Amino acid sequence: MDYRIEHDSMGEVKVPADKYWGAQTERSRRNFRIGQQMPKELVYALANVKKAAAKANARLGVLDAQTERAIVAACELILSGGADDMFPLVVFQTGSGTQTNMNLNEVISRLCSQNGVQAHATCFLPQYTSAARSCTARVFVPPSKALQPHSEV
């Protein structure tokens, strides 16, 4: 089997070359091997959230149209079942679902890069929150466009 080397805050990790996920997913796949696979319905639900957030962020002017199209196309491929084998994680993780979220982020980023769009930086849009950042899963409202303090978009 061929591998590529991915990097994260813990260092290097070998990832199968034919997979779209990255270091975070690979570490989770190796460390949590008990339980059933994450239901595809949950993966699809998260893909729908990321697709909607990409559209909202583009509408707000914080995501360019090319990146929006690439993220939406990646999410649509996921929703069609065309990337089901890229989501290998099991339901028993650390409890917060961070690995599943990162699995989506890594796959979306790699799919975008195949279309010439480097969406990795977009997956970590700056936010005015202490919550975990994820690939366009939150709608970023820059101060110049904010309607009210604490308003929801």
Q: What pLDDT score does 99 carry?
A: 86
Cα gap 13→98, rounded to integer Å? 18
CA-closest candidate to residue 127, choices 111, 112, 138, 113: 138
Burial of 43 (0-12, 13-18, 19+ CB in 10 A): buried
Contact in structure between 57 and 135 (CB atoms under 8 Å): no
Give the containing element (helix H, strand E) for 114. helix 98-114
* pLDDT profile of the chain (153 residues), mean per 10: 91 95 92 87 95 94 93 97 95 77 93 83 45 46 44 44
Q: How high is the pLDDT of residue 59?
A: 95
Buried b vs exposed e over 119-147: b needs ≥16 C-beta within 10 Å? bbebbebeeeeeeebbbbbbbbbeeeeee
Residue 147 CA to residue 153 CA, distance in Å, equals 9
Per-residue pLDDT, 153: 44
What distance in Å separates the CA atoms of residue 151 and residue 153, rounded to the nearest whole number?
A: 7
